[in-house]
Chains A and B, each alone.
Chain A
Amino acid sequence: MGSTGLKSAADRGLLAPTDWKRPSVRWSTRLAHGALLAGLAIAGLGPMLWLAKAAVTPTQDTLREPMALWPNGFDFANLAEAWTRVEIDKYFLNTIALAAGSWAVQLLVAATGGYALAILRPRIGKVISGAVLATLFVPSVVLLVPLYLTILDPPVVGTSMLNTFWAVWLPAGANAFNVLLMQRFFANLPREIFEAARVDGAGPYRVFWSIVLPMSRPIIGVVSVFAVIASWKDFLWPMLVLPDPELQPLSVRLPILQQFVELDVFLAALAISSLIPIALFLIFQRLFLNGASLGGAVKG
């Protein structure tokens, strides 16, 4: 894809209508686009289609002829077996619980914090803002060990949070990117509305709940989608703080299952694990793609 793409990129009309009128440009562009689409389909969709097929194919077929378009037989029982006997249902629920809690904590922290920094503006707001932003510049590897020890022996709480979902939920909230997004969005809301609300006697809680939150649906959507997806993807941290298999999410459990589950059932488990994120993506496609570019815009 890479080199051929580059070559044809040269002949392509770069946003110029006059270029499009030239047949040579038009055709080579179409050719490049066709090649790109084929490449993207093979690379993007191919592995997932293979997984979908393999999930309902008997092990022997997958092993002997992995690239056969049509398996000799279908084995839909794989999915049911993965769900019940391998207890994917349990890990699935754990994953959802972890994602839901992480989402709630992230939204709570980012929305209230962003509101305080952007609209209430305490005197020390700048300092806090800076301290939150500074964490973006600290490579995440630094946190691994000390955060683990914090979970083992948290301040105030006194008892270890190991093997509790809180060990995943609470650290998830310390996401400076979310706070930054919310803060910027709130700061750009029209201030006249807050003034009017204040004249009408609305206090800071009321303004937050009845005005700011309802106006902030787009940004809440972006933060939500990324919170859920990030939690679903997470592996190392839940592996460290949830050693109890009863509590582990899919991501942590799958590598272990691979060692003692037949291939076809394992592939069914992989397919089930991908279902929710892919479904979320297909439903909220625009949110995902806008959000991803938003990341670039903020970074830029």
Chain B
Amino acid sequence: MTSIDTRPAGVTGDRARPQNAARPGRRGGLLARARGGLPTLVFLAPMLIVFGVFSWLPIGRAVVMSFQRTNLVADPVFVGVANFQQVFADPQLWTAVQNTGYFALLALLFGYPIPLVAAVLMSEVRKMRGLFSALAYLPVVVPPVVAVLLWKLFYDAGEDGVFNTILGWAGLGPFAWLQDADIVMPSLVLEATWAAAGGTVIIYLAALTGVDPSLYEAAEIDGGGVWRKLWHITLPQIRGILLITFILQIIGTAQVFLEPFLFTDGGPANRTLTLLLLIYRYAFTNSLGGDYGAAAALSLMLAVVLTAFSVLYFRLTRSWSS
């Protein structure tokens, strides 16, 4: 579910949190009679049970499991840091780290500037802005599996493949999109960017419409040109959102699974083996039964690195973002 595969919605909410947490306390309980009574418990119950069993407990269990040898038959045994040692000893780990980093880097190069440029342009559209938005967002609602399987056909290596046909008109190619070790990762990133960019465009567009027009007017009185307005007003005004989409994209791409799994299953020659794919293999495709301990250990390390990176990132950019 959302909790596992993709959770674009809100891995972060850093700036939203303090305000929100502060609000309930301030205004005192309404329906004071019910405060803490049975009805409150009834209303809290679904959330407490579902979050308890399917979120809080598993998160705690993830930590414990990292230090255990678990198969489903015997009772779990504590093995200290053996799982971590095993993961670090696996030569595939470094391949996966490099590939994941490469994917994240390419995804930033492809996927970060394009939505921004598109959104800035779209914010100036006077008629039919809805059409622009709808077209941009359409790929986001296409089921990701359908998108990948469709693009897999587009990426057919033969001269009659869809992309090779199109490039053939310009005398280019044919390319072995998914078989050539040097271009397989850009191919995956291209599809992933196509699938995700629309969501970012809509977020930027909302931020852009929130920019106070009087700031532009002030700049015009001072004789600021379009470029200067863009650089000194537009971008600074939406920098909060820009900073957050950046870190969200890093967190998301560090956990990429669908594209490498369905396009190439990690190939050719492990060139698209990502960390999530490695975790998946540890846990679910091991012929000797799931190596849940190693999978949990690697998951935990990835999560710790991502969380530490996010905290550091928000520390470093704090003065700049508000």
A contact set with B: CB distance below 8 Å: 1-2, 5-6, 8-16, 18-19, 25, 29, 32-33, 36-37, 40-41, 43-45, 47-48, 50-51, 63-67, 102, 105, 108-110, 112-113, 115-123, 125-126, 128-133, 135-150, 152-155, 168, 170-177, 179-180, 183-184, 187, 191, 194-195, 198, 203-205, 207-208, 226, 229-238, 240, 250-252, 254-255, 258, 263, 267, 270, 273-274, 277-278, 280-282, 285, 288-289, 292-293, 295-300
Which of B41-49, B91-99, B171-179 lines the interface with chain A?
B41-49
Q: Which residues of A contact B144 (CB under 8 A)?
A: 233, 235, 251
**C-alpha spacing A194/B34, complex, angstroms:** 13
Instruction: Report whether B142 and A296 are in contact in the complex, using a CB–CB cutoff of 8 Å.
Output: no
Instruction: Report whether A126 and B4 are in contact in the complex, using a CB–CB cutoff of 8 Å.
Output: no
Q: Which of A136, A233, A289 contacts B6 (CB 8 A)?
A: A233
**C-alpha spacing A236/B28, complex, angstroms:** 43
Q: Which residues between 251 and 303 of chain B lie within 8 Å of chain A, taking CB atoms?
A: 251, 254-255, 257-258, 261-262, 275-276, 279-280, 283-284, 292, 295-296, 299-300, 302-303
* B113 interfacial by beta-carbon distance below 8 Å: yes
B contact set with A: CB distance below 8 Å: 1-13, 15-17, 20-21, 23-25, 27-31, 34-36, 39-48, 50-51, 53-59, 61-62, 65, 70, 72, 113-114, 117-118, 120-125, 130-147, 149-151, 153-154, 160-162, 165-166, 194, 198-199, 202-207, 211, 213, 216-217, 220, 226-227, 229-230, 233-234, 240-241, 244-245, 248, 251, 254-255, 257-258, 261-262, 275-276, 279-280, 283-284, 292, 295-296, 299-300, 302-303, 306-307, 310
Q: Is the interface of B mostly helix, strand, loop or mixed?
A: helix
Instruction: Report whether A148 and B1 are in contact in the complex, using a CB–CB cutoff of 8 Å.
Output: no
Instruction: Report whether A139 and B2 are in contact in the complex, using a CB–CB cutoff of 8 Å.
Output: no
Instruction: Report whether B55 and A135 are in contact in the complex, using a CB–CB cutoff of 8 Å.
Output: yes
**C-alpha spacing A122/B11, complex, angstroms:** 26
CB nearest to A188 among chain B residues: B23
Instruction: Report whether B136 and A144 are in contact in the complex, using a CB–CB cutoff of 8 Å.
Output: no
Instruction: Report whether A145 and B53 are in contact in the complex, using a CB–CB cutoff of 8 Å.
Output: no
CB nearest to B227 among chain A residues: A10
Q: Which of B45, B65, B117, B299 contacts A2 (CB 8 A)?
A: B117
Closest Cβ of chain B to A210, distance in Å, is: 14
Q: Which of B135, B162, B206, B240 contacts A44 (CB 8 A)?
A: B135
Closest Cβ of chain B to A39, distance in Å, is: 8
CB nearest to A149 among chain B residues: B292
Q: Which of B5, B131, B220, B234 contacts A235 (CB 8 A)?
A: B5
**C-alpha spacing A292/B255, complex, angstroms:** 21
Instruction: Report whether A150 and B50 are in contact in the complex, using a CB–CB cutoff of 8 Å.
Output: no
Instruction: Report whether B142 and A237 are in contact in the complex, using a CB–CB cutoff of 8 Å.
Output: no
> What would be 28 A-B contacts, judged by CB atoms less than 8 Å apart?
A2-B113, A2-B114, A6-B117, A14-B124, A14-B216, A14-B226, A40-B132, A47-B150, A66-B162, A116-B43, A120-B39, A122-B35, A133-B13, A137-B13, A140-B11, A140-B255, A143-B4, A143-B58, A143-B59, A146-B61, A150-B53, A183-B20, A208-B43, A274-B142, A281-B134, A289-B133, A295-B203, A299-B203
Closest Cβ of chain A to B217, distance in Å, is: 8
Q: Which of A45, A177, A203, A254 contacts B149 (CB 8 A)?
A: A254
Instruction: Report whether A109 and B145 are in contact in the complex, using a CB–CB cutoff of 8 Å.
Output: no
**C-alpha spacing A138/B53, complex, angstroms:** 16
**C-alpha spacing A150/B137, complex, angstroms:** 36
CB nearest to B161 among chain A residues: A66
**C-alpha spacing A168/B8, complex, angstroms:** 18
Closest Cβ of chain B to A196, distance in Å, is: 12
Instruction: Report whether B303 and A139 are in contact in the complex, using a CB–CB cutoff of 8 Å.
Output: yes
**C-alpha spacing A128/B194, complex, angstroms:** 38
**C-alpha spacing A126/B25, complex, angstroms:** 8
Closest Cβ of chain A to B255, distance in Å, is: 5
Instruction: Report whether B135 and A45 are in contact in the complex, using a CB–CB cutoff of 8 Å.
Output: yes
CB nearest to A6 among chain B residues: B117
Known contacts A16-B229, A109-B46, A172-B1; 17 further A-B pairs (Cβ under 8 A):
A5-B117, A36-B118, A43-B194, A44-B138, A66-B161, A112-B46, A116-B44, A119-B31, A122-B40, A129-B24, A131-B51, A144-B280, A147-B54, A194-B31, A229-B141, A237-B5, A296-B245
